[in-house]
Amino acid sequence: MNALNENLVIVIPARKNSKRLKNKNVKNFFGFPLFEWSLAAGLFLKQQLSGLREILVVCTSDDDQILDLVKKKYSSSVLAVQRKPELSDDNSVLSDVIFDCLYRLAERHVINLNKYLAGSFILLQPTSPIRLKDDLISFCRQIKNLGNDLSMVSVNKNYSAVKDIYEIISFSEVKSDFLLGHIGKKLLKVQDIKKHSESAFVDGSLYLGFMSMLKEKGFMPPTKTLAFPLSIKRSIDIDTENEFGDALALIKELQNLGIEYVSPKI
């Protein structure tokens, strides 16, 4: 199995409720709902990867406001999937959400289920809206050169808070100037981070995996998940009002520097 040849589903999971920042997925972020920035990234990735496979961009949500916008504005390019209530709370597992998307699309006779279960997926978390155009292009280039059954997740070595920090294990079998290594164990304490010479923040903006691997071993399987370093100065995964403000400030900084990022269109 090779990532280049398999059917691909690009999933944006945008549920309604959020604990720390109320209704964050529909919160206005530079003129667009926050989740819409990930739709734009999904369509950009589809364009970059088109040609040798069947690619779907899917938004899954339990929020009628989100689903209505997708159906009205993106009716020809993004599929809207109504998420089950049991997959919409804080305890829901993202792997279940991704599989649910495929099963529901198969029920609607939109896809051949077996072909997509044998394929790959890209997960775009709406809480990480800022994706540089050059990073997305490089990510697609790495996908085209990726070996069999390997996952890949975006990381950033510039971080301050102990949040989603993982050990990075060097490797020699994969030759690339734009991959750091394999994702190792999660580091939960400052002293744990200090013990490891290489570590990075897994930011949630880009994740590629195989459906078969996801079912068997879950996200980021050991020795099978490669770390894709982002060139952005710092990554922001929005969970709080302060992080939302930080993201807005980062957009303004990128604009001042003339750095291109992927954003929605009116």
**pLDDT, position 219:** 82
Task: Collapse the DSSP code of 252 into the 3-class scheme (helix H, G, I; strand E, B; otherwise coil) and give the result.
Answer: helix
- Which amino acid type is present at position 130? I
Phi-psi region of 13 (alpha: psi -120 to 50; beta: other; left: phi over 0): beta
| pLDDT for position 34 | 95
Q: Collect contacts of 28-33 with beta carbons under 8 A, ≥24 apart.
A: 29/129, 29/244, 29/247, 29/248, 30/248, 30/251, 30/263, 32/263, 32/264, 33/66, 33/69
> What number does CATH give the domain 8-257?
3.90.550.10
Please name which of 140, 122, 104, 143 lies closest in space to residue 13, comparing C-alpha atoms. Answer: 122
Can you tell me the distance from the alpha carbon of 61 to that of 45, in angstroms, rounded to the nearest whole number? 21
**Which residues, including other chains, have CB under 8 Å from residue 62's CB and lie 6 or more apart?**
15, 16, 82, 83, 84, 85, 87, 88
DSSP 221-248: -TTTEEEEE--SS------SHHHHHHHH
User: Which pLDDT belongs to residue 252?
Assistant: 95
User: Which of 208, 207, 166, 172 lies closest to 187, judged by CA?
Assistant: 166
Per-residue model confidence (pLDDT) at position 3:
52
Alpha helix locations (H) across 108-258?
113-117, 133-144, 190-195, 211-217, 241-257
pLDDT of residue 1: 42
Token pair recorded at residue 199: 């570590």
> Tens place of pLDDT for every residue, the chain, 266 residues?
455 567 999 999 998 877 768 888 999 999 999 999 999 999 999 999 987 679 999 999 999 999 999 999 999 999 999 998 888 877 788 899 999 999 999 999 999 999 999 999 999 999 999 999 999 999 998 887 776 677 899 999 888 777 888 888 876 555 555 678 888 888 888 887 777 678 888 988 999 999 988 888 888 887 788 899 998 888 888 989 999 999 999 999 999 999 999 999 98
Q: Give the amino acid at 57.
A: V
Please give the Cα distance from 49 to 174 (Å, whole number): 21
Domain borders along the chain are 8-257
